[in-house]
Each structure stands twice: as C-alpha cells, then as structure tokens.
Chains A and B, each alone.
Chain A
Amino acid sequence: MLALNDLYKGYGGTPVLRGLKLAVEDGEILCLLGPSGCGKSTALRLIAGLETPDTGTITVDGQVIINTPIHERGFGLMFQDFALFPHLNVFDNAAFGLRMHGIPKAEIQRRVSEVLELVRLAGFEKRSVGELSGGEKQRVALARSLAPEPRLLMLDEPLGSLDASLRTQLIGEIREIIKTAALTAIYVTHDRGEAFSVSDRLGLMNNGKIERIGTPNAVYDHPKTVFSAAFLGFNNLLSAQELAALGIVVEAPEEKGVRLIHPSGIQISGDQGIAMQITEAIFEGERYRLQVSKADIQLSLSAPAAGQRFEIGETVQVEIDSRWVQALSESA
C-alpha cells in the first residue's frame, strides 16, 4: 500500500535517512524499531508530509504523494506527547479531523461515540483534556487519530511517556484497537518488547536504513546482522576459533565473520556440556542472569531459578545447540 523508495533526508549537513526503503502492506501493523537517532521518527514525518525528503519518493497505491499537502494526505499521526488540543474537550478533540473534512454533524456525533467507545472513553465527552490522566490522554489521542478512518495510522512512541506498568497493560490494547478498526499502521518504538507484541512485521532500523525486516519471530530467531543481534540484546558473539576452542563445530570455519550463539540455543544442563565457571550471577526472581567463562571466553545466558542457587566461582555445565549458532554479517 505504502512504499518508501530510497529516501534521503538530512538536517544541516547531518544525514538522518540514508536510502530508506520500505513497503507497508494493506492491513498490517508494521513496527519500526531502532535506537534513538536512527531516523524512525523522521521517516514518519516524511510520510505524514511534515517534512519533504531530499531525494527519493513516497507512493501510496502507486501514486507519488510527495507534493500532496499534509492535510490532504488522509493519514493519522499520533505523537509521543499526544499533542491534544488544550482548548478543546475530549469530544471536540476526537471530532477535529472529521470537522476538517466537512462531515455532517450527525455523522460526527455517531463516529466520535464509536471511537470513544472503542478506546473505552465513553462518557468522557465533556471532559477537559487538561484533567485527564496520562493513559486517558493516550486514548484520546488514539481516538482522535482513528476517527477520520485514516488510510494509514502512524504512531510515534505512543507509549513512550507512560509509566512501565501502564505500558504493559496498553500494548495489547493498542493492537486490539488497531485490528478492530482494520487499519494499516506504522508503529515507531525503541522498545523491543513493545515492538514484538504489537507488530505483524518488524523493521529494525539503523543509521537511516532498514537493517532487518520480517515477522517478529523471524527477526528474533535470525537477526542476521551484528547490529540487529546487539540491539536485540544478544551478546554471545564469537569468532570461529573461539567456538572451536569450546568444541563447537561450525560450518565454513575458514570464514572470518562473527558467529552468534542465539539465546534459544544455550542453557545450563545437568551433566553433559562444556564445563564453565560462573563469573557473575544476578538473581532476577524467576531467572538468573549468568556470566560464565572458560579460557578467556565469556558467555552470558539466562537460567530458570526454580529453587536453585548459583554462586560465583561455581562450575556449571553449559549446553550449546549448534543449530542455533548463526553467522552474522556486518550490516545489511
């Protein structure tokens, strides 16, 4: 539905987007995940029309929209700080887009009630937005974006300004609301957990480009690049020699690149495995986070606590499944 073709954008000589390519399918929720400064928010601003790309095009259903004014694009954009209109109440905030499109009054009434119902804010119509809690503001912002039934909904860190417990609660809810409204959406976040739970497809961004794109499972299981693996928090990156020193057989050992031992392929076992010494043990309740070493090779892994106690200096058997050892490329 939406396609970004080789977008370049810089601010005062600093490039932010460097040849961004992306295709968004009808009806999917695509997450753009990446560290701050990777260009994900800039990408949204270009799609929305708040900025113009230096080079490259944006098409919707094959039509170039670069020269379409912002207000005629028919998209929705939700900001991290929600940007609610402080002089309007909840109803008028939600109705704003519909009014701008000259929708008849009765229709506005019906549609606003519908979206407020959807975000579970029915009865809040006359409230001033100043007196709402963070979570309620977030819902108003969502309702306001949903009301005009945008062709594409963009959410820029929609949970970024909420506290942790509220976030976990709202992640599932947002996905459900977008799916109920049957919208195509781009969801920008720097939080892995949020991205995995909310998206149909996930694009990992680095340095103004897509580094890795796929379903959340595919990206998690096969990060493919050093950056992706590191961003996902995978830090067992070893050379072929180091793997050999641990007695792990790898394919094409002559190749120089880095290998990843995926977290799914490393665990503490009872008897068989590599004997390694614990250098760090952090108890996290359900699990232990462990650092183990052998002959200057450091590995990290997580082990279920389940009544066990791990001590620094203790030797444990570490089992590595060679099927989860993957070669990584430097970058996409």
Chain B
Amino acid sequence: MDRNRSTLNGKGHALLKWAVYLVPLAFLLLFFLFPLARLMVYSLAPEGILDLSGFTKILTTPYYLEVIGFTFVQALISTGLTLVLALPCAYVFTRYRFPGKSLLLTLSTLPFVLPPVVVAAAFVALLGERGLINDALTRLIGLSEAPLRIEQTLTLVFIAHVFYNYPVALRIITAYWATQNEHIEQSARVLGAHGWRLWWRVHLPMLRPALTAAALLVFIFCFTSFGIVLILGGQRYATIEVEIYRQATGVFNLQVAAALSLVQIGFMLALMFIYTRLQRRNAASAELKSAAAVSRNPRGWREKIFVGINLLIMIGLLFVPLIALVIRAITFGGNGISFRYFAMLSTNPRGSVLFTPPIQAIGNSLIFASLTAALALVLGLIATWMISDRRSRFASWLDPLLMLPLATSAVTLGFGYILALGQPPLNLRSSLMLIWFAHTLVALPFVVRSALPAYGALPANIRESASVLGASPLQRFLKIDLPLMRRAIIVGITFAFTVSIGEFGASLFIARPESTTIPIVIYRLLGQPGAANYGQALAMSTILLLVCAAALVIIQRFRTPGMAEF
C-alpha cells in the first residue's frame, strides 16, 4: 500500500518547508555549480569572447599530450598492480578462516580515511632516502649513502596507489566471491581443473563482473590522483590534476589550466558513465546464488603458506608504512625516542617555508573540520529530508546531484572557486569561508549516504504515534527522528570531519597563509630540504594519522552493519 510518511497540512508549514529546502539548493548552486560553470566559461572564453587557444595549445603541444598519456598509463599500471595483488588475497579472505580475520578486514578500511599527505609521508618514512629501511641498512652494513633510492620516482607513486586501492579491490572482489556457488569450483576440480587452469577457466570468468567493477573504480581513483603524484612523483611527473595545479599556480597560465580542467571533467564524466552502466548491467545479470561459499581453516603446508604470504603482503603494504611513520616521527635524528619535532611544531623558526608556526595549522584544521561537520550535517539532513519527501520530485535529481562533488576532482573545484568566487559579484577570496564551503561540499555526500538509509529505516508507526500525540513536524524531527538516527549522524559527522581535516587538493588552491591547514603544511614541509622540516612533516603526519584512525574507530563503532551505503 502506498502510504505517505506523513501528512503536513497548512500553508504556513508548506512555506516554511520550502524556505528550508532552499538552503541546500542555494548552497549547491553557489558553491558547486557556479564555480564549475565559471570554469567552463573561462576555458572557452577567457576574455569574454570565444577563444579556444587553450585547447589548441593542449592538443598541439607534445608536453600536454604526454601529461594526458601519462595520466592514462600510470592509472592503468596502478590498476593492474592492485588487482594482481588483491585477487589472491580476496581468495584467502573468501575461502579461509584464520585468527584475526575480521580485525584485519576492519583495519583494512583505514586507507579510506587517510589523506594523501599522510600516505605520502608514510612511504617517505619507510622507503625514502631518510626512511626507516635506508636508515637501518646504512647503519647495519655501514654504507655511506642510502642504498634504496626510489624517492621522486614512479615506483613510490605506484606503491602508494596500490596502498589506497588494494582495500577497495579486496572488498569488492571478496563481497562478490562470497555470493558465488562453491559447488562450481568443486565441480571444476572434480572435472580435473587445478592450478592455473582453475584460475583461468573458472575463477576469473566467474569473477568478471567484480573484477571489471573494481578495475574501473581503481582506474578512476588513480586517474584523478593528485596529492600522491604531486608529493611522491617529484617535478618530472604530472597527471592532468597536477598539471592543472602547476599551470594555475606555478606559471599562472590560467587559460591552459582551465582548458585542462574541462578535459579532466570530460574524462571523469565518461568514466563515471561507463562505471554506472557497468554497475547496472552487473546488477541486472546477478542471479540468485545458492550454497554460498563457506570459509574453512587452511589445510596442509601449501595452503598455509599461500594464506601466510598473502597476509604478509597485506600487512606489509597497508600497515608497515603507517607504523614506520610513527616510529620515524619519534626516533628521527636521534638515539631513542624523542618528541622534539612535535615540540618544534609550535615554533616558527626563521627561514621557514611557512608564515605561521605549524601548530596554528592544527588549530585551523580543527576549526574547519568542526565547522564542516556542523554545516554538512545541517545541509545533509535537510537534503535527506528532501530526497525522502515523496510528494516532491527532488529525489530523482537531488540524490545524483549531491553525489556529483564526489566525482569532481578537488583541484578542479579549488580552481573553480578561485575563478568564480575570487572576484565580483561574489568576492570571497580573502574569506576563510571558502575553505569551509569547499570542505562541506566534499563532505556532504558522506553525510547524506549515511543519513538517508537511517532515515528510510525509521519505523513509520513510531513517527505517526508522535504526530498523533501532538508533535509538530519540527518537534517530531527533533524528539524522534534525530535520536533514532543518532548512530548514522555520528558516522556522518565523523566522516565529514575526517574529509575536511585531510582535504588537500581544493585547500591547496584556496588556503591563504593565515588559513593554512595540516595537509598543506605537511606538503610544504616535505618539499623542503633539511632535517627539521622532514622531522616536523613526520610529526604532523603522525598527528593526522592518529586523528584519522580515531575517526575510523568511531565510524566502525557506530555504523549499522549493512546499512551504510559506502
């Protein structure tokens, strides 16, 4: 039966409702669509008349074509590496039972919430020239210089990309594999398939939907990689994202930067289109699976070694760099544990790349993150309300519109802000609000994805009881809906807080010296020579790592299994 969730009568209520509804719409219009539109217009007509020289420059200069080519190739290689490493591990997680399995799976979500600056710092701390491994090797063997020289090379970029995407691929493949009929593999074995033929003829074809979905998603992530390539790739390499940033802020070639942004938006739309088409087809072809795989203990030394190697790869890839970061931050440049670089964060030595002591950036970041969480919560709840309002037609277009910031690269967004909001009629260039709004925009999808299912799961009878007992729609929202959605709200604002505190791409464009945030300070410190800068970068990254890890604990503690749509 089609029953409305509630009946809201009276003209006053309707007017108020529309006034409230306008808030998130106005926000999206002003701080998302307007900057992107401005960016587009600028790329096509920088002086007000049609001028496509930005595009012709891109298409005729070998350098820009190389950038685009590199963007594709590095994404392709990263995707390949990720899948090759994640697939056997997905098998281990699907088929075998072993101690610490669920803990490992939970911990493997950590990369989801880690900002690229922290990941870059972690790999520098482990594999960099002054990293833990080089440090150990020089001390042990007594070498005069570091034997491992992969800083500022593609190797480190690829490893970091695999770090980010390995858990994504692992989750997608494992979730799909767990629904597959175990008898298929057993039949194949009975029919004589084993070893690589079992993989080639049975596992891979069977997993194709999951593999293509995972591959495309990983490709999209790597294609838009900004922070990792910028920090770990050095001057020699640039993805489209990095090039937009360099053109816009390094050489002030705004026209080329805008044209590149449009090219990037085009690629992203195409990739997202393919991805959603693929997802729809996969959903349509999914059959009802019976006898889903049951995991068991590994038997025999071959199976045990297989499980062991995969778990070692996983731990080595995901956790060792983070542990190295913490160890390096408290041991660098001295014997034994010392917190001197943490202490140094509150000073502002002469000759520093920064205008303010790093500690101030921590304060800024905390303020921005709190404000972002608050604003994203308010906007997200109103949006949830709008999408769920069956008598309005918002649901069909507001939901995808709200997800769009996720598919828009942060660099494009930041650049759009500079172009659109840095000059009349709306000049907020010097306003601290720009960072706040940019972060809120990126955080909003997370709040909505968290709140929407929780709101939909509110029992209709309970809400109706409240109305009958005299609760106005607002009272019902405050006294019934909010308390019952408490867990989802905690998850949503924690996500928003984490997104804000780690946001790098947009902030790099928008932030001014007095509004510098933690990731930007880490980036600047990492780019400078000198032990003090290096030590402080590691100390700052460690702080950010701990904040994100704490956020993850909160998210895991409060999320309702099977409810969050991530």
Are B466 and A96 in touch, CB under 8 angstroms? yes
**Closest CB pairs A-B (n = 5):** A97-B469, A83-B461, A100-B470, A70-B467, A77-B468
Are B2 and A11 in touch, CB under 8 angstroms? yes
B337 at the interface (CB under 8 A from A): no
Question: Which chain B residue lies CB-closest to A12?
Answer: B2
Please list 15 pairs of residues, one from A and one from B, whose beta carbons are closer than 8 Å in the complex, sorted by A's number. Answer: A49-B467, A50-B6, A50-B467, A51-B7, A67-B9, A69-B472, A72-B470, A77-B468, A83-B461, A84-B462, A85-B480, A86-B462, A101-B470, A144-B465, A148-B470
Distance in angstroms from A54 CB to nearest chain B CB is 13
Question: Which chain A residue lies CB-closest to B461?
Answer: A83
Question: Which chain B residue lies CB-closest to A96?
Answer: B469
Are B461 and A81 in touch, CB under 8 angstroms? yes
B13 at the interface (CB under 8 A from A): yes
**Cβ–Cβ < 8 Å partners of B464 in chain A:** 48, 50, 70, 77, 79, 83
Question: Which chain B residue lies CB-closest to A101?
Answer: B470
A75 at the interface (CB under 8 A from B): yes
User: In the complex, which of the residues B462, B470, B483 contacts A71, with contact meaning CB atoms closer than 8 Å?
Assistant: B470
Contacts known (A77-B464, A79-B461); A51 close to B484, Cβ less than 8 A: no
Question: Which chain A residue lies CB-closest to B459?
Answer: A83
Contact mask for chain A residues 95-138; partner B; CB cutoff 8 A; 1 contact, 0 none: 01100110000000000000000000000000000000000000
Are A71 and B465 in touch, CB under 8 angstroms? no
A52 at the interface (CB under 8 A from B): yes
B297 at the interface (CB under 8 A from A): no
Report the Cα distance A73→B475, complex, angstroms: 16
B144 at the interface (CB under 8 A from A): no
Contacts known (A51-B3, A51-B4); A86 close to B484, Cβ less than 8 A: yes
Question: Which chain B residue lies CB-closest to A87?
Answer: B483
Report the Cα distance A76→B471, complex, angstroms: 12
Are B9 and A69 in touch, CB under 8 angstroms? yes
Distance in angstroms from B466 CB to nearest chain A CB is 7
Interface residues of B in 464-510 (CB under 8 A from A): 464-473, 475-476, 479-480, 483-484, 486
Distance in angstroms from B468 CB to nearest chain A CB is 4
Question: Which chain B residue lies CB-closest to A81?
Answer: B461
Contacts known (A68-B9, A69-B10, A85-B462); A144 close to B4, Cβ less than 8 A: no
**Cβ–Cβ < 8 Å partners of A11 in chain B:** 1-3
Report the Cα distance A144→B464, complex, angstroms: 13
**Cβ–Cβ < 8 Å partners of A77 in chain B:** 464-465, 468
Report the Cα distance A269→B520, complex, angstroms: 101
Max chain B Cβ within 10 angstroms of own Cβ: one of A12, A49, A100: A100
Report the Cα distance A106→B9, complex, angstroms: 32
Interface class of chain A by DSSP: loop
**Cβ–Cβ < 8 Å partners of A214 in chain B:** none
Query: Interface residues, chain A, CB within 8 Å of chain B?
Result: 11-12, 45, 48-52, 67-77, 79, 81, 83-87, 96-97, 100-101, 144-145, 148
B73 at the interface (CB under 8 A from A): no
B59 at the interface (CB under 8 A from A): no
Question: Which chain A residue lies CB-closest to B476?
Answer: A71
Contacts known (A79-B461, A81-B461); A69 close to B466, Cβ less than 8 A: no
B8 at the interface (CB under 8 A from A): yes
Report the Cα distance A84→B484, complex, angstroms: 12
Are A71 and B3 in touch, CB under 8 angstroms? no
Query: Between A and B, how many residue pairs show CB distances below 8 Å?
Result: 92
**Cβ–Cβ < 8 Å partners of B471 in chain A:** 71, 96, 100
Contacts known (A50-B464, A77-B464, A86-B484); A144 close to B469, Cβ less than 8 A: yes
User: In the complex, which of the residues B468, B479, B483 contacts A70, with contact meaning CB atoms closer than 8 Å?
Assistant: B468
Are B467 and A71 in touch, CB under 8 angstroms? yes
Report the Cα distance A154→B479, complex, angstroms: 23
Distance in angstroms from A24 CB to nearest chain B CB is 17
Distance in angstroms from B23 CB to nearest chain A CB is 23
Are A97 and B470 in touch, CB under 8 angstroms? yes
**Cβ–Cβ < 8 Å partners of A75 in chain B:** 468
Report the Cα distance A77→B469, complex, angstroms: 8
User: In the complex, which of the residues B1, B13, B469, B480 contacts A69, with contact meaning CB atoms closer than 8 Å?
Assistant: B13
Report the Cα distance A327→B279, complex, angstroms: 65
Report the Cα distance A29→B219, complex, angstroms: 68
Distance in angstroms from A109 CB to nearest chain B CB is 18
Are A83 and B465 in touch, CB under 8 angstroms? yes
**Cβ–Cβ < 8 Å partners of A51 in chain B:** 3-4, 7
Interface residues of B in 177-236 (CB under 8 A from A): none
Report the Cα distance A67→B9, complex, angstroms: 7
Distance in angstroms from A320 CB to nearest chain B CB is 45
Max chain B Cβ within 10 angstroms of own Cβ: one of A50, A67, A76, A101: A50
Interface residues of B in 425-460 (CB under 8 A from A): 459
Contacts known (A50-B7, A69-B8, A70-B7); A76 close to B468, Cβ less than 8 A: yes
Contacts known (A83-B462, A87-B484); A69 close to B7, Cβ less than 8 A: yes
Question: Which chain A residue lies CB-closest to B484?
Answer: A87
**Cβ–Cβ < 8 Å partners of A97 in chain B:** 469-470
Distance in angstroms from B446 CB to nearest chain A CB is 24
Distance in angstroms from A282 CB to nearest chain B CB is 38
Contacts known (A12-B2, A69-B10, A71-B470); A100 close to B462, Cβ less than 8 A: no
**Cβ–Cβ < 8 Å partners of A73 in chain B:** 468
